A and B are shown apart, each in its own frame.
Chain A
Amino acid sequence: MSTGIDAPPLRTTAPPRRFPSQAVTGYLFILPALIGFAVFYLYPALRGVQISFTDWNLLSEPSTVGMANYNEVIRDPKFWSALGITVKYVLWNIPVQTLLALGLAVAMDRLVKSMFVKGLLILPYLLSSVVVAMIFLWLLDPFLGIVNQWLDGTPLGKQSFFTSAEQAIPTIAFVNVWKHMGFNALLFYAGLQAIPRTVYEAASIDGASELTTFRRITLPLLRPVTVFVLVTSLIGSFQIFDTVAVTTQGGPADATRVLVYYIYQNAFSFFRMGYATAMSMVLFVILVVFTLLQMRLLRANESDLE
């Protein structure tokens, strides 16, 4: 993704004369956005750094504790467990979601181009994550959920899904696969549309098989989209909160206490603002690494379609 920043034009001797007093006009135009940015992005980002060095329960005055919060993060087994659970969630969520989306996009590209089909596919993506969580709580209910009503007659038997420590994270991962699969398929589909058909015609003339064409042409040319889909969904995945908050609330037996849920608990249940903020800073660093990785990979792939 290009940053879109133009080099500032060199100031020649005469000032620009297109609008009178452009500076004042310019500042007036950006004023509302600038206030929003300063108060709700810039200030909280800096304030967050500051809060992370304090001990603060919101009621009494914050007291500065230096690196104590960060030291505690490193030694907190619950933090590492939350990070581990988050990684486990990401490892269930991302591969399944990406592979299904890619397959779906290819199927759409080859078989149907109908707007109706695309509309149905992105329907889950349009739903609130709370709605999606609610839907699956009901579908997968151990007693009355229709999935267990069906499983009851099969060799698999009834499953506990959200209420089992082993199944809860994979279940939450699949719920979000359901929500995001169609949207990611749409992105892949848009990427497929951008591949010139002449490339395929050439391959077809050379007698390349379907599988070879996919492996040698489609996949490499799709790489920028793939990297984009992978990294944005990875960053989103690491911030999983809504589904957990609605379905398991960290349980059973802390099996689904993901990182953002643990941060939320520290801030708004235990009122440990400093500690929660320090952990959110650590998450920020993890995500910056992924973002830099994304930019690196995207730039590395920009020339593929030339």
Chain B
Amino acid sequence: MTTVPRSYHRPRKPFPLGRLLAWLALALILIISVFPILIVLKTALTSNRDLFTEAARLWPSDPTLVNFQRVLGLLSTEQAQAAGGSGSAVNFLSALKNSAIFTLLIVVGQTFFSAMAAYAFARLKFPGRDVIFTLFLIAMMIPGIVLFIPNFITVRNLGWLNTIPGMVAPFILMTPFAVFFLRQFFLSLPRETEEAAFLDGAGPFTIFWRITLPMSQGPLATLAILTTIGMWNEFFWPFLIAKDEASFTLPVALQVFKSQTPQGVPDWTGLMAGTFITAIPVFLMLIILGRRVVESLAFSGTK
């Protein structure tokens, strides 16, 4: 990526009004982007007792971790009820575990199996290769709802409702996008190293595993990041498959926790603690992998 700073607009006057307005607009939008998340954190740290009196405040006068403790099931039912919970809380700790397993299995499986297929489409010759690949490409256009109803019936017939296999099944082996994305990259890799390894007696799988994958760390990481974001946040499919609390992922648990509270006054402090917990992993990913995440997203759009 070229990052040569452009200087065509260096101000003719020292500080034009337009520039000031643009700065203000940018600052305003940044505040609008971040502010709601701060209110979530503030609410999660507010005790139920203070919720009504401090609704308009930006920070709780007496911050507490009690809401996090109760939605994570770290308090007894009596303690949770005393803190303002309904007692019929969803087990967020188990949902956190399910979300982690769901996301991890899919990221590892999908990246690996899609890479294998992409390698074959890019490097190996076999009858029907281009027809199959074209079918993959066409499948990218099918909207989710068209596939989800028949897939639900398939998973139900397999007896996989409420199970991890049922939840990961449609995603773990491939997505057309992942195969397409990696094939484009493998096509661009120089063939010389692979050919040298072949002359040394390496088989195709050894070449794929020992040469192609290590040379593709950047695109593999990009794909893994995009898949992690997508799967951690996936709602519709786990929502269809997971009907027992034991198999909820975090977005599903959050939705169920909200719909459990009686109409009128939801358990806002607990809900916001659960909301914040659901969002923590992507915050961490952005903090730790910052530039990589931004570049992965930018890449996902431009090609």
Contact = CB atoms under 8 A, between A and B. Distances in A.
Interface of A: 1, 3-6, 8-9, 16, 18-19, 22-23, 25-27, 29-30, 32-37, 39-45, 47-48, 51, 58, 100, 103-104, 107-113, 115, 117-131, 134-139, 141, 144-146, 149-150, 178, 181-183, 186-187, 189-191, 193, 197, 200-201, 203-204, 210, 213, 225, 228-229, 232, 235, 238-239, 241-242, 245-246, 260, 263-264, 267-268, 273, 276-277, 280-281, 283-284, 287-288, 291
A22 B124 contact: yes
Interface in B166-217: 169-170, 172-174, 176, 179-180, 183-184, 187, 195, 198, 203-204, 208
Contact of A119 (B2, B150, B286): B286
Nearest to A198: B8
A46 to B, nearest CB: 9
B25 interface: yes
A245 B258 CA distance: 11
A34 B34 CA distance: 42
Contact of B52 (A125, A144, A204, A276): A144
Contact of B145 (A37, A126, A183, A263): A263
Chain B's interface: helix, strand, loop or mixed, by majority?
A: helix
Contacts of B34: 120, 123
A193 B146 contact: no
- Size bracket, chain B contacts: 35 or more
Most chain B CB inside 10 Å of its own CB: which residue of A29, A109, A193: A29
Contact of A126 (B7, B55, B198, B229): B229
Contacts of A273: 149, 153
A9 B184 CA distance: 17
A111 B27 CA distance: 11
Contacts of B184: 4
A255 B33 CA distance: 27
Contact of A138 (B29, B40, B187, B232): B40
A33 B179 contact: yes
21 contacts: A3-B137, A9-B125, A32-B117, A36-B174, A41-B139, A58-B153, A111-B22, A111-B26, A123-B33, A126-B285, A126-B286, A128-B250, A131-B233, A135-B39, A137-B258, A187-B298, A241-B236, A245-B239, A246-B258, A281-B146, A287-B143
Q: Is the interface of A mostly helix, strand, loop or mixed?
A: helix
A125 B149 contact: no
Contacts of B303: 1
A130 B179 contact: no
A186 B296 CA distance: 11
A181 B279 CA distance: 18
B72 interface: no
Contact of B294 (A110, A118, A131): A118
Contacts of B173: 32-33, 35-37, 40
Contacts of A281: 146
Given A18-B198, A33-B117, A276-B149, 10 more contacts: A37-B136, A44-B150, A111-B23, A112-B26, A120-B30, A122-B293, A129-B251, A135-B40, A146-B39, A190-B299
